[in-house]
Structures are given as structure tokens and as C-alpha cells.
Structure 1
Amino acid sequence: MAGFSFAAGILPSGATVTRAAGPYSFTGSNGLTQFGSAANVARFDFDPVTLACRGLLLEPPRTNYIVSDAATIPLAQNIGSTWVANTGVAPDGTTTADRLVNTNANTSHGFVLNASSSRPAGPLTLSAFAQVSGLPRFGLRAYDGAKYFHRGTFDLTTGTVGALGGVGTAAIVSYGSGRYRCSTSGTSAAAVQTYIMEAGTSAWTVQQTSQGDGVSGVYVSGVQLEDGLVATSFIPAPTAPATRPGETLSLNWAPQGVTDGLYSVLYTFADGTMQPVQQQVTGGVSTISPASLNSYTIRSVSILQTPASRTISLGDKAPRSATLVDTGSRSATILT
């Protein structure tokens, strides 16, 4: 079967990734976050825990609307907490994670973050990397002026979503060494500008008071606010909001004997799911953008179906045969 595999962490012959220059990141083969900005560089994402190659990372354009460097991150309001910069290890292995510490008071704790500008009504995702620094729970909330339309609390000791409030979803992904990427997603009915990060005790769920000790907290890094209902790879925004350009994947099928026509092409993703996509091969080449895909980490691509009026024969030494014809008048003669 004609196809391309990205499981080895290298771009196979005939595959080309196109992307304009701009900030991007991915998890390298050492399990650490890697950064770059060069155009047309394929990103292969590795599991930060097992170090296995997950596949080719192909993502749509996204903007991180929250400045991510501790020196300039817009901490608009302190809610019973203190912020200590560059005290923990971030996913890239550098000591650039910041520490959110709860004050010695029985009150609400956290920080309000203001994005560069209000985001219009619609789908939004807020995410951050978090790790225990004395407190086991971490919370993210988004407020649209009337309510917290999505909010989540994460257990950083078990790697699970501890509680979920509002209308939305929450996800937590391990990045090894007790570090997790936490995210909440939801669709707001009004413009949104206020976002909150919190640290809490093991009994803490969503938006509640707790007794702090002035010492315990949570390490935080890689804060990101983006449009859409899924957290894409982290976009470094050290001094101002930054945009990761979108990518496209072009595949040259001609050397594999695939002629021009409309094909059903099967995309297999890192999470094991699959998606058949109708693709036109012209001049031997097909091109796809991630907007057409259900997932953004591709393990392999293969031809499922030949175009109309083309026949493929497969055979061994047995004298029997069978012809299969689908509803699109495509046929394959199999000798068995």
C-alpha cells in the first residue's frame, strides 16, 4: 500500500512541510521543549515521558495572547498570593518556571491575568504548565464579565482533573518529573479579558477559600491563551503576543506509482485514531492543511482507495481470484 510513515522522527522522501517563519515549539527526542522560528522546518513531537516519537506535528495558525515571560507577564491583580519569578524548572529544562505562593491567610488565592486585549465571544482555550511546590492542586478560570464560563481544577499529584465548573472541558497531560500541562476550553457568549490561575490544597475544588502558609504553592510556566477548543503546542511570547504560522503538508505520490486522481487517504494520528480524507492528487502531489484534520500529530498517511477506472491486481500462486467493486466504480482484482 502506498503511503508515508512519520513514526521514525524524520521526514520521508516525497514529504514537504510548508510554514512561514514564526515562533513555534515541540517536544524533542530528549523529552524537553524545543523552540524555533525558521520557515519550512518539520516538527516531530516526542512523548515527554516515554521519549517515543509521536509523529509529525502539523498545526493551524494560533496566537498566544498572554505574554509568557515572568518579567512582563501581565499579573493584573493579586488575590492572596505572591509571584516569584524563575524559581522552578520549565519544560525546556531551564530554571524559568515561576512560583505562585499562597499567603498566610484563610482566603481566596491566585492571580488575575489580563490578556493583551479582550477576546470576542467564541471558543477559547487557556493553558499552562504546572508542578507541585508544596500545594497539590492548580486551577484555571476564564471570566466573561458575567460568569466563569469555563474553569477547571487539576490534581498535580495524580495527574487528573479534580473538578470542572462552568460550561466547557478540561484536560491534563503529563510532561514528566511531576510536571503537567493543564488546559480549560469553552465557548463564551460575551467578550473575555479576565483569566485567573490558582493554587490550592488537596481538599480544594473550584474557586474556594483555603488556608495558606506563605510558603507552599505551585510552579507555573508556559501560560497560553488561544482561540479554539484545544490547547495546541506552546507559542513563546516573551514580550508581546505572538503568532505561530499555520502549516501544510505536501506528499509526492508519483514515485510510489500513484497516478493523478481523487483518492480516499487514511490519516493515522498519535492517539491511535484514524481519519479518511478525500484528496486530489495533481501532478503526483497532494496537499493538506490541519484545518481538514481531526488531530494535529500525524503518524502515517496511506492510500485507501484507487480512483475510478483504475484496477490494482494482487496475487500469489493460487489460481483463485475475486473482484471487489465499490459504489464509486472502483475495483480491485485479488488473486488468492
Structure 2
Amino acid sequence: MSLAFDSQQYAMGAIGKRPAAFAFSDLITFTRSTGGGRFNASGQYEWLPADQPRIDYDPVTGECKGLLIEEQRTNLIPYSDTSGGTWAGGGDRVLGAPTGLAGVFALGTSLAWAASAITFNYYQNLSPVAGTAYTFSVFVRYEDGRDVNVEFGNPTVENTALNPFAFVANGSAYAWSAITKEHVGGGLWRLSYTVTPSDTILRGWGILIRSTHKAGLPRLFVTGYQIEQASSPSSYIPTTTAQVTRAASDPILETLPPWFNPSAGTFVIEHDALDGAPLLSSGDALLASSAGAGRTVLAYDATGSYVSQNGGEFIAGPPLTFGDSLRLMRSATQWANAHCKSLRYYPRRLTLAEASA
């Protein structure tokens, strides 16, 4: 069996026979009870309907990343495109009419300074749960003007992005993660970081922008603001008048003949999952990533199981008992929150050289 999500070609054959082409839905039962977002092959962000698999693309290079599998997440911030609603702010700022970023997002807000401005803020109020991690993310494009600091958080505890994206964290009341950035094309960056509040005080969680030079009237495009109760960012979840929850993805393969051999076989999976993330699970069999993104091989027979990560030597484990179905990029309780580029299965135990070919 071969599931090439990056080329969207799928094949399966009975043991000992040549594989034939099949549709995705012929081989995988895929469910997600809500819509979900992805970047398409043209680099545009779009929201797909419930139960539609998300074949995701790199918006800069156009390369297909594969099938995106994520756990359930909620964007806690209404009006995520920053166009209105519950957003408030202060300082000498100029809010341009809501504008789109052609080819990427449909809506956003252009933020600029008045002639006398040095700082402004743009925020929504949120009462956090003490001791719980929250991850913030926002899409920002620096349009023009002089040097700018972009600070995310609240007026007393801030993360700073300099000129425009070098990062500093501060604030003794909060445990900050490193802030990260991802280029999504057209000068647009997604900035994200994680914070763990130590109290439940209602604060303005938003965007504070500070110009280091008043001359030049710096201007930023801002959209796609998201706060999740989690320790890492997930794909963007658009909101309007209320919070929105994206349901978990659940891809299931039936581990039955004609393609599956319960006595001996080999799985080869290419992915971008982090260490410890589940890749395959069935019965008492669980394959997790232990070397980050790349290629993971699971071979098994009556003598035991054998795992190789990114071309390394096989590490032996106990024999496995498979159930009647196989979960892809998830276990019974955990999701990889990552892409599966491809999955291949061979109904015999391969050597490491064969699996790496």
C-alpha cells in the first residue's frame, strides 16, 4: 500500500499482486466535525468544510507538506482579522479601513501612526487560567516607514520584535517561551509565542506597537490574531462575533486483508512531527517520533518490532498485536499536530537498506 499525500496518489494491492490506484476515500476513513484551515497550492489561506482532508502547502515555496492532522483547538479571540467588534486601543494611531492582503487573506487591518505618535495598542480583554499555557499568534506585514518595535502581550508584560522581527521577552509575572516567526509569503510573517500566566487578572491581550522613530509614519498590516489554550500554535482559526473551535482530525485505515499482514510487515512514514508525537497506533502498537521530522520505519514479525528514525539502526522492541484499524498521526488520546507526507506499507519485514531505498 502507498499513500503519497504530497502527490495525492494512492495505491493498494492484495499481497503478492501489483497495487492499483484508488481514491483517498477508498482507503482512509477521515472525519473532522468542523471546518479547518490550510494554505492551498496557490499560497492562499482557505477554510475547508467539515470532513474534508487538509492537504497543506508551503505558502512561500508551493511545496506540498502533506496531510495535516491536528487536535481540537479553540481561538479564544473574536474578530480575529482585527477588523472591529471587541477590539479597543489607545495612543495616537491611525486605523485604516479593513484591507485584504491579496492572495493570502481576505481581511485585515492596516495600522499606522499619527504625526505625533510613538506608541499605540490594540487589544481585547481576556481572563486567563492561572498556571495554564496560552499560545499567541498573529500575521504581520511591515509595510513602510522607519524602525518599529512590535510588542505582544499587555501593557505591563510584553514581547518585543525589533526592526521589525528580532525578539526580546520580559515580565517577571509570566513564564515566556521563545518567540518564533514563520514567513508565509509577500512579506507577511506569522509571529507566535507561549506564555503561562500566574494569575487570573483580566488584562488586555493584544498588540502594542512602538515606533523608535516618529518620522516616516510606520505602518503595519495585521490580521489572523489567535490565542489558544495550548503550549504551541496550531493552524489559524478565523473568528467573527465569537470564539471558534476546530475539531480534531481522525484518519483511520482498516488493518484488514488484502493489503495488511498481521504476522510480518513494514511501515515507512515521512512526516514533520516533533519528538514524542504519535505517528501510528493500533491495538497495543504505538509508533512515535523520536528524532523529529523525517522518515520513520517500523518493521515487525513474530520475533519483535524494530524502529529506525532517519536512517539510523533498528532499535528492537517487543512483538506487536494490531487491532482491526490503524490511526494515522495520532494515538487514542494524542495527536501529532503535524503533516504526514507519505505512508508506505510492505507485507513483510524489510531490511534497513530496503526500507531506506
Asked if these proteins are the same fold (TM beyond 0.5), I'd say yes
Instruction: Give the drift of 1:239.
Output: 1.8
The answer for the alignment partner of 2:169 in structure 1 is 164
User: How far apart are the structure 2 equivalents of 1:252 and 1:105?
Assistant: 65
User: Deviations 1:221-245 (Å, cap 9, x if unpaired)?
Assistant: 1111111122211111022211111
8 Å contact kept, 2:31–2:251:
yes
Instruction: Give the drift of 1:82.
Output: 2.6
Pairing of 1:177-192 with structure 2 (within 5 A): 177-191=186-200
The answer for the alignment partner of 2:324 in structure 1 is 283
User: Deviations 1:263-306 (Å, cap 9, x if unpaired)?
Assistant: 996653247978665532433544664763444222133569x9
Pairing of 1:1-336 with structure 2 (within 5 A): 4-9=3-8, 12=24, 13-21=26-34, 23-36=35-48, 38-67=49-78, 68-89=80-101, 92-94=104-106, 96-105=107-116, 107=118, 109-115=119-125, 117-121=126-130, 122-135=132-145, 137=148, 139-143=150-154, 148=157, 151-153=159-161, 155-156=163-164, 160-166=165-171, 167-191=176-200, 193-201=203-211, 210-213=212-215, 215-255=217-257, 257-260=259-262, 267-270=269-272, 277-280=280-283, 281-286=322-327, 289=330, 292-302=334-344, 312=348
8 Å contact kept, 1:3–1:300:
yes
Which has more strand, going by share of residues? 1
CA shift in 2, pair 1:69/1:172, >3 Å: closer
Structure 2 spans left out of the alignment, 5+ residues: 10-22, 284-321, 353-357
User: Deviations 1:64-123 (Å, cap 9, x if unpaired)?
Assistant: 1112244434223313323223235166353x221111233364x1324114x4121211
Q: Normalising by the residue count of structure 2, what TM-score does the alignment of the two structures yield?
A: 0.69
CA shift in 2, pair 1:233/1:154, >3 Å: farther
User: How far apart are the structure 2 equivalents of 1:182 and 1:231?
Assistant: 10
Instruction: Give the drift of 1:246.
Output: 1.4
8 Å contact kept, 1:58–1:297:
yes
8 Å contact kept, 1:261–1:282:
no
CA shift in 2, pair 1:259/1:154, >3 Å: farther
Instruction: Give the drift of 1:61.
Output: 1.2
Structure 1 spans left out of the alignment, 5+ residues: 202-209, 307-311, 315-321, 325-336
- Number of aligned pairs? 290
User: Deviations 1:125-156 (Å, cap 9, x if unpaired)?
Assistant: 1111111122464524224x9x52x6241655
Letter of the structure 1 residue corresponding to residue 246 of structure 2: R
CA shift in 2, pair 1:242/1:275, >3 Å: closer
